[in-house]
Chains A and B, each alone.
Chain A
Amino acid sequence: MSLTLFNFVDAKDKFTASARHALVGKTSKPLVNVFNQFPGNEAEKKTTLDQALRGVLGDQIVEKKVNCDEYLSLIYLSIDAVTEGICSATTPFLLLGDVLDCLPLDQCDKIFSFVEENVSTWKSSSFYTAGKNYLLRMCNDLLRRLSKSQNTVFCGRIQLFLARLFPLSEKSGLNLQSQFNLENVTVFNKNEQESTFGQKHTEEKEDGMEVEEGEMGEEEAPAPCSIPIDYNLYRKFWTLQDYFRNPVQCYDKFSWMTFLKFSDETLAVFKSYKLDDMQASKRKLEELRASGGEHVYFAKFLTSEKLMDLQLSDSNFRRHILLQYLILFQYLKGQVKFKSSSCVLNDDQTTWIEETTKLVFQLLKEIPPDGDKFATMVEHILNTEENWNGWKNEGCSSFVKERTVDEKPKRPTRKRQAPEDFLGKGPDSKIFMGNDELTRLWNLNHDNMEACKSDSREFMPSLDEFFAEAIEQADPTNMVEEEYKAVRNPNYGWRALRLLSRRSPHFFQPTNQKFKSLADYLDSMVSKLAKELPKDIPSEEIKTGEEDDDDNGDNLLKDSNDSPSIQSKMVSNQQMDDIAAKLGAQWKTLAPHLEMKAAELREIETDSEDVDMQAKLLLVAWQDREGTQATVESLVAALNTAGFAQFADVLSEA
């Protein structure tokens, strides 16, 4: 296909004619046909069509159509064109913008209804990304044109439309940097001369001592006032509004001091002047109900001096002021990302803010009617504000929880155990009790009866274990005195009886002997048992070590004849004497190898002057400590490591 130059003008004319034709016929088919038939690049054709449509709209506007429907039908056409794909997606929005810019407000109303009705279209994927900025700009332009107090409903509709169009986390509607409306200045009579209030004779002397009659009759003075005015409070009170307008100045030390002083005075007045006139407020409530509950709306405070008294006695006014305080405090204390780093409160300021917050809440609770409810509501709202503030600081994260894409294809793994598993029937047959400890305990043995029968639960001792002590004591060679025998212990005796009843047949043999006491009975039992039980019972366990050693030693000798092994005998006294004599003063060198502590060494030194004796003492102490381990072998080893190998040889010979 040969490249032909795209004839823009020609295309535009054709499209314009076709568009008008389509409008008349109320269908977009002719336009689509013309578009498809016309030769050229898609993109070029699209932009040409955009221009054409805008041109058509322009002509319509110039003709000053009374009825908006014609504009609307053109816009419908353009929407269809986008759906057909012959027109770029921004065109409908451009057309809307053009139309709204050129029409007076009453007609804009109708156009805007159209916009509202088609919210779903705007939100659909093909239009949304292209058009949202245009729509936003269009709405903002409209809002700027409208007056908030006169076209309140229209403004509201635009805001609502924006709220429906954009997702909840859209930043364009936010006061992201927490900026303040610095232009909201409250004007009041700061200067005394400007006071319109009762112009007084200026010829009065400074100390005002002249008695003047007829002082009210001046021509220039307005109607004479009849109440005394507290100028001091008036000025301080309205100066506070400046701090509420621009809270950042609170961080400046000098302004803060002024704010503090004025606030304290004002709050003291509120505290002293309690609103408890229930009669007045009841009347007001009835009036409100009668008038259909119309809301009180005012844009700015009225700051005439004469109104001060009335304002102080009005509960709504007080609520306004106290609420302003709370909002200010929240801002000062809060973390806002866009505050400069110099905006930090010091400790005194923080303390004052906390005290005053308490006072303000208390005052709020005291204001009739329904002070308590109002105060709790305010607290709740301020808490919610904290959340919003935090959300803004984090950069307005979206509220929509996105599904992570990769989870979908996998089969979801079981997060919770299959019922069979935790009921103990599954493959693991491990029962989960919900708590680790309980699970462990339960799974020791899942059958209680079996668990009770297990060997580890056998707590009853055997006869020989239990009576070993008693048997030994009964042995006359041990010479244990009567009163120290275990059988005299009533606790022991009771347990002995129980054990005998379970294990010993002697318990059930009838006997003619008459026993005077349990102890005597047990004595006889013990003697019977002693006869029965085998000889090598653990009562001789103390001597086990040596016997075993002897046995081992014999075995060793039998097994290995050729090893000149040093016998693992206990070191005898004679041997110790010999070594000591040989060691003499060198016993200290041996000491660390025998693992003697320094304290013990000192003790040995103090015990005796004679070095031989000391050496002997060392060896004795070593033997005491080691007990059964004080063998010749270990002594030889120690001697060898200490460097006294020749003595070791002596030992081995002995």
Chain B
Amino acid sequence: MGPVELLHMSVFSQSFSPCGRFLAAGNNYGEIAVFSLSAALSPDATAQSQKPVLTFSAHEGPVFSLLSNDCHLLSAGSGEVSCWSWAELIKKNTKPLWTKRPNYKSSLEIPEINSMTFNSRDNSLVLAGGDNNVHILDLERGLFKSVLQGHSDYVHCVSVRGREGEILSGGEDGAVRMWDSRTGQCVHCIEVHKYESCARPQFGKWISCVTTDSDWMLCGGGPSLSLWHLRSLSPTSIFPLIGCQRQTSFYQDMILAVGDGPAVSHCLLGGEVKAQIPCSPQSLNTLQLNTNSTDYRVLTVGGSSDHIDVFTNLSYRTFSFSF
């Protein structure tokens, strides 16, 4: 990987291993790199420990989404989903367990898969597809169960409300749709850009991040990042962040958001921005918290750079992994 390629690298996705000691990151060249957190956080870490322990090529196009469950790593790129075993990866064996692709209507274009999430109720994988549909893959039988149609433009992100078994999807058309996973019907549709408090016409109406906490939902993108109460389907707080947010997450009583701008924003539920912690990439695409391990409970962010910043203390950047 020459210096020019490194300059143009973007990290789109991250996922922690089930034991919490490794981090997998996918970039725009279709590669996945595995970093060892335990080595990098140990007292005798060296500069070498900030390099990946394993790098391999996973897909033809960019790796937009990575997801881990108890023993597998799932990666999605342009049109296909691959599954890898963490145990094998740690042993540096990079053969995928399986690769599947959803049924696309047209065979001319290969729409990308932007995001994935698990629906633990019926052990299925929900895929946000570039063909304006949400695909559901049954992990037990390995077949694509259903297709949720309704969006008029490609779907950016999906999230699952664990208790109710609802799927939320946000798309380029500016709509956040809520689907019932059993029937496959669209239960609600919120057009965020139609609400004046959230709308930011200068950026557009697209929704690039949706995350939910069962009762609450955070969504943002073109419109401002906003916290919604799902029962009443109304926005409760608007966060005055400049730029479009690409990933958000609930953390204790705070909200973490990353997007345009070289900073991680910490916001309070009331709508105020508590802090903006600077980081090295100029704009950020992905934010992950390592909840699988208490020893290595770090926050990692990646974006338009070959560096992935690691925060042991949420308020300052500790060090960076690099591809």
Chain A interface (Cβ < 8 Å from any Cβ of B)? 192, 195, 197-198, 200, 207-211, 224-233, 268-269, 272-274, 276, 309, 312-313
A539, B312: Cα distance in complex, Å: 108
Which residues of chain A are near B92, meaning CB under 8 Å? Answer: 209
Q: Which of the residues A195, A224, A229 comes within 8 Å of B41, measured between beta carbons?
A: A229
Looking at A210, A225, A231, A312, the one whose CB has the most chain B CB atoms below 10 A away is A231
Which residues of chain A are near B86, meaning CB under 8 Å? Answer: 211
Q: Which of the residues A225, A274, A309, A312 comes within 8 Å of B295, measured between beta carbons?
A: A225
Asked whether, in the complex, the Cβ of B296 is within 8 Å of the Cβ of A231, the reply is no
Is B19 positioned at the interface, with any CB of A under 8 Å from its CB?
yes
Asked whether, in the complex, the Cβ of A211 is within 8 Å of the Cβ of B90, the reply is yes
Question: In whole Å, how far is A355's beta carbon from the nearest beta carbon of chain B?
Answer: 19
Is B237 positioned at the interface, with any CB of A under 8 Å from its CB?
no
Asked whether, in the complex, the Cβ of A228 is within 8 Å of the Cβ of B298, the reply is yes
Question: In whole Å, how far is B65's beta carbon from the nearest beta carbon of chain A?
Answer: 24
Query: Which are the 10 A-B pairs with shortest beta-carbon distances?
Result: A273-B315, A192-B43, A272-B316, A192-B44, A228-B312, A273-B316, A226-B294, A269-B316, A230-B318, A208-B39
A224, B295: Cα distance in complex, Å: 9
Asked whether, in the complex, the Cβ of A232 is within 8 Å of the Cβ of B319, the reply is yes
Q: Which of the residues A209, A226, A268 comes within 8 Å of B90, measured between beta carbons?
A: A209
Is B124 positioned at the interface, with any CB of A under 8 Å from its CB?
no
Is B182 positioned at the interface, with any CB of A under 8 Å from its CB?
no
A54, B130: Cα distance in complex, Å: 105
Nearest A residue to B54, CB-CB = A209
- CB-based A-B contact count at 8 angstroms: 75
A224, B294: Cα distance in complex, Å: 10
Q: What is the predominant secondary structure among interface residues of chain A facing chain B?
A: loop
Is B183 positioned at the interface, with any CB of A under 8 Å from its CB?
no
A272, B312: Cα distance in complex, Å: 14
Is B68 positioned at the interface, with any CB of A under 8 Å from its CB?
no
Known pairs A225-B295, A272-B277, A274-B275; A207 contacts B315 (CB<8 A): no
Known pairs A230-B318, A233-B318; A207 contacts B297 (CB<8 A): no
Nearest B residue to A225, CB-CB = B295
Nearest A residue to B18, CB-CB = A211
A600, B91: Cα distance in complex, Å: 111
Looking at A192, A210, A272, A274, the one whose CB has the most chain B CB atoms below 10 A away is A272
Asked whether, in the complex, the Cβ of B43 is within 8 Å of the Cβ of A195, the reply is yes
Question: In whole Å, how far is A235's beta carbon from the nearest beta carbon of chain B?
Answer: 9
Asked whether, in the complex, the Cβ of B297 is within 8 Å of the Cβ of A227, the reply is yes
Is B145 positioned at the interface, with any CB of A under 8 Å from its CB?
no
Question: In whole Å, how far is A278's beta carbon from the nearest beta carbon of chain B?
Answer: 10
Nearest B residue to A277, CB-CB = B274
A-B contact pairs, 15 of them (CB 8 A): A208-B39, A209-B92, A210-B90, A211-B19, A228-B296, A229-B41, A229-B43, A230-B313, A230-B319, A231-B43, A273-B277, A274-B315, A276-B274, A276-B275, A309-B313
Query: Which of chain B's residues 78-119 have a Cβ closer than 8 Å to chain A?
Result: 86-87, 90-92
Asked whether, in the complex, the Cβ of B41 is within 8 Å of the Cβ of A228, the reply is yes
Is B72 positioned at the interface, with any CB of A under 8 Å from its CB?
no
Question: In whole Å, how far is A66's beta carbon from the nearest beta carbon of chain B?
Answer: 60
A209, B92: Cα distance in complex, Å: 9
A399, B41: Cα distance in complex, Å: 59
Asked whether, in the complex, the Cβ of A209 is within 8 Å of the Cβ of B53, the reply is yes
Is B245 positioned at the interface, with any CB of A under 8 Å from its CB?
no
Looking at B19, B42, B45, B317, the one whose CB has the most chain A CB atoms below 10 A away is B42
Which residues of chain B are near A224, meaning CB under 8 Å? Answer: 295
Question: In whole Å, how far is B71's beta carbon from the nearest beta carbon of chain A?
Answer: 10
Question: In whole Å, how far is A290's beta carbon from the nearest beta carbon of chain B?
Answer: 26
- Annotate B18-45 by CB proximity to A: 1 below 8 A, 0 otherwise: 0101000000000000001011011111
A602, B36: Cα distance in complex, Å: 102
Asked whether, in the complex, the Cβ of B313 is within 8 Å of the Cβ of A273, the reply is yes
A228, B295: Cα distance in complex, Å: 5
Is B201 positioned at the interface, with any CB of A under 8 Å from its CB?
no
Asked whether, in the complex, the Cβ of B91 is within 8 Å of the Cβ of A209, the reply is yes
Known pairs A197-B43, A231-B43; A272 contacts B278 (CB<8 A): yes
Question: In whole Å, how far is A103's beta carbon from the nearest beta carbon of chain B?
Answer: 53
Question: In whole Å, how far is B92's beta carbon from the nearest beta carbon of chain A?
Answer: 7
- Annotate B269-283 by CB proximity to A: 1 below 8 A, 0 otherwise: 000001101100000
Which residues of chain B are near A225, meaning CB under 8 Å? Answer: 295
Q: Which of the residues B21, B313, B318 comes within 8 Å of A232, measured between beta carbons?
A: B318
Asked whether, in the complex, the Cβ of B87 is within 8 Å of the Cβ of A211, the reply is yes
Known pairs A209-B92, A211-B90; A312 contacts B38 (CB<8 A): no
Question: In whole Å, how far is A366's beta carbon from the nearest beta carbon of chain B?
Answer: 12
Nearest B residue to A269, CB-CB = B316
Nearest A residue to B263, CB-CB = A272
Looking at A192, A230, A268, A273, the one whose CB has the most chain B CB atoms below 10 A away is A230
Asked whether, in the complex, the Cβ of A207 is within 8 Å of the Cβ of B53, the reply is yes
Which residues of chain A are near B36, meaning CB under 8 Å? Answer: 207-209
Which residues of chain A are near B90, meaning CB under 8 Å? Answer: 209-211
Extra A-B contacts (19), CB below 8 Å, given A232-B319, A273-B316 = A192-B42, A209-B91, A211-B19, A225-B295, A226-B295, A227-B294, A227-B297, A228-B298, A229-B312, A230-B312, A230-B319, A231-B42, A232-B45, A269-B316, A272-B317, A274-B315, A276-B275, A312-B313, A312-B315
